[in-house]
Amino acid sequence: GTRIICDRKFLLECKNSPAARTPPCCLPQTPGVTSLAQSSLVKLEELKERNESEEAVPDQDQFEMDI
């Protein structure tokens, strides 16, 4: 096989290229592929609300122990 050899300077310069952005700016917006689907956004909001409501409840022991 053929080996591709890159020096350190080239690799460090590559991290600043526009192609290295996540996601690249030139991609079309496809729900579920390049962006979150609407149902996923709703689920994320529900999870955030649920986590916030759970944080409001004071900490309780997971298991009760009889001593």
Instruction: Answer yes or no: is pLDDT of 5 > 80.
Output: yes
Tokens of 64: 């009760």
Please give the pLDDT value at position 37.
63
Domain residues of the chain, as ranges? 6-48
Q: Which residues contact 57 (CB under 8 A, 6 or more apart)?
A: none
Tokens of 36: 């979150």
Please give the pLDDT value at position 7.
92
Q: What is the pLDDT of residues 8-67, one digit of tens each?
A: 999 999 888 887 877 667 778 777 776 666 666 677 777 788 777 666 555 566 677 777
Nearest-CA neighbor of 23 among 33, 13, 37?
Answer: 33
Please give the pLDDT value at position 31.
74
Please give the pLDDT value at position 59.
57
